[in-house]
């Protein structure tokens, strides 16, 4: 496989337009943005830099397609067939999509193959399979009235997704929205748009009518704002930062009160008790739970809370695993942690480390950039001990390979530390005490709590945040709830 990857890494990437109405079109102004590869800092290609008028074109195309009914009123069995075909096309082009995505965002190829095309194909197949098994309801009214509850598509769905796993997270939004019969306008991150533009091409090849799935690229402050303010968009689904999420809520209030669903990241605690069944395994899982994809994972276990009696020893084990991880060329199958997405993100990561050490934290390993002969942006996996719970690195999402280690003395203190941030996306608990594990699951504020593992889940279970990690659910049948309206038919008999 490495030979095929090496061939694909040199393939020229064509200039990219917007994808509107079933075809690639340039931005009205002709404006473009350079696409820099985090692997070596080179310019891969250009993408169109959409303005508000381009987003309006895409939203109009989506509305026209929805109103035409070719997709929105198609039988669920037909939509299922098209989504299955799209899943097959993603799988047929999986290596091409994975390599293209890695060149665009820097994820190590071993993770990208599973987390991007494989996951996206599974997601489209899952919601295709689900949609013809979703029924309406008959309400228990009086004998002289028949009350039916219908589930209908909302109309036009806007989706804004981040750069870390664009194909996977994009599929989490797009697949259930399409399965329910909606039209979609997707805005990728400007530093990771290429695989989603390719996905739109594959969707048309699979049989999706023109205008049902559109992709607008460009800057969030322009294209993202226009999507948030659009009067044509009925629902907006977003994964990203809390600051942007707040702006999207404001845009909804200033426009048509569209529903806004937010997944806003986290500062997820990984809690290790002294009675954890296998401390060596726990240390390895904890290290990989923060350092894979160089920490650029929404649910990354970025706070390691360890019972005081084993805290120093356990932190040393994790630091040893981190120091031995292979960081480098993301397109090398032996690489364990790839590139940082952009120089701005690398500077942000290093800034967190500098502030943490200034606030008394101790660097056990890492804490610095890794210079590569080929260029690009890389950072050593970093383990910080002696982190105070009230400091910047303990409270705010780094979104990089930085692990903050904090000891606790009691179960109650572990819960207090775990819940001591504004976030509540994910958590982990390591203990051989089943009763304690159940107590922690109930007590820790998070959308998903892993027990004696970290990072595992699949499409059968929801992913959503508590607290300021957001609202609404990705994955599972619950994701459909975001993209349907309920309509009651009250029928006098």
pLDDT, tens digit, 9 for 90 and up, residues 304-352: 999 999 999 999 999 999 999 999 999 999 999 999 999 999 999 999 9
Q: What is the pLDDT of residue 427?
A: 98
Domain count for the chain, please give it.
2
Does 469 map to a domain?
no
Mean pLDDT of 229-238: 98
For a pLDDT cut of 70, what percent of the chain falls above it? 100
Say if residue 276 is in the same domain as residue 333. yes
Q: What is the pLDDT of residue 363?
A: 98
Say if residue 359 is in the same domain as residue 388. yes
Does 485 map to a domain?
no
Say if residue 235 is in the same domain as residue 304. no
Q: What is the pLDDT of residue 102?
A: 98
The answer to whether the CB of 392 falls within 8 A of the CB of 359 is yes
Residue at which a domain ends, from 244, 264, 284: 264
Mean pLDDT of 271-275: 98
Q: What is the pLDDT of residue 265?
A: 87
Say if residue 360 is in the same domain as residue 215. no
**Could you list the active site residues?**
263
Say if residue 236 is in the same domain as residue 352. no
Q: Report the predicted TM-score, pTM, of the whole model to 2 decimal places.
A: 0.96
Mean pLDDT of 231-240: 98
Is it the case that residue 488 has pLDDT exceeding 90?
Answer: yes
3-state secondary structure the chain: CHHHHHHHCCCCCCCECEEECCEEECCCCCCEEEEECCCCCCEEEEEECCCHHHHHHHHHHHHHHHHHCCCCCCCHHHHHHHHHHHHHHHHHCHHHHHHHHHHHHCCCHHHHHHHHHHHHHHHHHHHHHHHCCCCCEECCCCCCEEEEEEEEECCEEEEECCCCCHHHHHHHHHHHHHHCCCEEEEECCCCCCHHHHHHHHHHHHHCCCCCCEEECCCCHHHHHHHHHHCCCCCEEEEECCHHHHHHHHHHHHHCCCCEEEEECCCCCEEEECCCCCCHHHHHHHHHHHHHHHHHCCCCCCCEEEEEHHHHHHHHHHHHHHHHHCCECCCCCCCCCECCCCCHHHHHHHHHHHHHHHHCCCEEEECCCECCCCCCCCCECCEEEECCCCCCHHHHCCCCCCEEEEEEECCHHHHHHHHCCCCCCCEEEEECCCHHHHHHHHHHCCCCEEEECCCCCCCCCCCECCCHHHECCCECCHHHHHHHEEEEEEEEEC
Say if residue 283 is in the same domain as residue 366. yes
Mean pLDDT of 220-227: 98
The string of pLDDT tens digits covering residues 61-79 is 999 999 999 999 999 999 9
pLDDT band, residue 54 (cuts 50/70/90): very high
Does 462 map to a domain?
no
Q: What is the pLDDT of residue 143?
A: 81
Say if residue 256 is in the same domain as residue 278. no
Q: What is the pLDDT of residue 112?
A: 97
Is it the case that residue 371 has pLDDT exceeding 90?
Answer: no
Q: What is the CATH number of the domain that holds 235?
A: 3.40.605.10
Average pLDDT across the chain, whole number? 97
Does 56 map to a domain?
yes
Does 137 map to a domain?
yes
Say if residue 209 is in the same domain as residue 288. no
Domain that holds residue 249: 2-264
Say if residue 106 is in the same domain as residue 210. yes
Say if residue 198 is in the same domain as residue 277. no
Mean pLDDT of 90-103: 98
Mean pLDDT of 99-107: 97
Does 60 map to a domain?
yes
Does 412 map to a domain?
yes
pLDDT band, residue 142 (cuts 50/70/90): confident
Say if residue 116 is in the same domain as residue 166. yes
Q: What is the CATH number of the domain that holds 448?
A: 3.40.309.10
Does 39 map to a domain?
yes
pLDDT band, residue 457 (cuts 50/70/90): confident
Residue at which a domain ends, from 264, 283, 307: 264
Say if residue 426 is in the same domain as residue 328. yes
Q: What is the pLDDT of residue 456?
A: 83
Residue at which a domain ends, from 246, 264, 282: 264
pLDDT band, residue 109 (cuts 50/70/90): very high
């Amino acid at each position: 496989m490495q030979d095929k990857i090496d061939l694909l890494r040199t393939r020229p990437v064509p200039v990219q337009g917007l994808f509107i109405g079933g075809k690639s079109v340039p931005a009205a102004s002709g404006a473009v943005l350079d696409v820099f590869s985090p692997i070596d800092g080179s310019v891969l290609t250009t993408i169109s830099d959409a303005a508000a008028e381009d987003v309006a074109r895409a939203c109009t195309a989506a509305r026209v397609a929805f109103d035409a009914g070719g997709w929105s009123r198609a039988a669920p069995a037909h939509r299922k067939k098209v989504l299955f075909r799209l899943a097959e096309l993603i799988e047929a082009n999986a290596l091409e999509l994975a390599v293209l995505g890695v060149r665009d965002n820097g994820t190590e190829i071993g993770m990208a193959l599973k987390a991007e095309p494989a996951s996206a194909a599974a997601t489209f197949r899952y919601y295709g399979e689900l949609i013809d098994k979703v029924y309406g309801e008959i309400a228990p009214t009086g004998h002289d009235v028949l009350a039916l509850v219908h589930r209908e598509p909302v109309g036009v769905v806007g989706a804004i997704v981040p750069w870390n796993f664009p194909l996977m997270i994009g599929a989490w939004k797009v697949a259930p929205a399409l399965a329910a019969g909606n039209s979609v306008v997707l805005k990728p991150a400007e530093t990771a748009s290429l695989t989603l533009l390719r996905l739109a091409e594959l969707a048309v090849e699979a049989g999706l009518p023109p205008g049902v799935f559109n992709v607008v690229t460009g800057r969030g402050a322009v294209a993202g704002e226009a999507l948030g303010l659009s009067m044509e968009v009925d629902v907006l689904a977003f994964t990203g930062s809390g600051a942007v999420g707040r702006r999207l809520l404001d845009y909804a209030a200033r426009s048509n009160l569209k529903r806004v669903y937010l997944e806003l990241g986290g500062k997820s605690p990984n809690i290790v008790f002294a009675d954890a069944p296998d401390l060596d395994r726990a240390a390895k899982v904890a290290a990989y739970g923060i350092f894979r994809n160089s920490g650029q994972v929404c649910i990354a276990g970025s706070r390691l809370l360890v019972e005081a009696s084993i805290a120093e020893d356990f932190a040393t084990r994790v630091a040893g695993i981190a120091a031995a991880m292979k960081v480098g060329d993301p397109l090398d199958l032996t690489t364990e942690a790839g590139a940082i997405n952009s120089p701005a993100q690398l500077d942000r990561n290093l800034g967190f480390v500098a502030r943490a050490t200034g606030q008394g934290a101790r660097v056990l390993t890492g804490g610095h950039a890794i210079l590569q002969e080929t260029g690009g942006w890389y950072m050593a996996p970093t383990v910080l001990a002696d982190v105070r719970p009230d400091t910047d690195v303990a409270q705010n999402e780094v979104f990089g390979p930085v692990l903050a280690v904090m000891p606790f003395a009691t179960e109650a203190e572990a819960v207090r530390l775990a819940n001591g941030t504004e976030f509540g996306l994910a958590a982990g608990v390591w203990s051989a005490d089943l009763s304690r594990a159940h107590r922690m699951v109930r007590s820790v504020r998070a959308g998903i709590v892993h027990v004696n593992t970290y990072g595992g889940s699949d499409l059968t279970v929801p992913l959503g945040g508590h607290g300021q990690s957001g609202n609404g659910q990705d994955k599972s049948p619950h994701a459909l709830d975001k993209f349907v309206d309920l309509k009651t038919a009250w029928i006098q008999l």
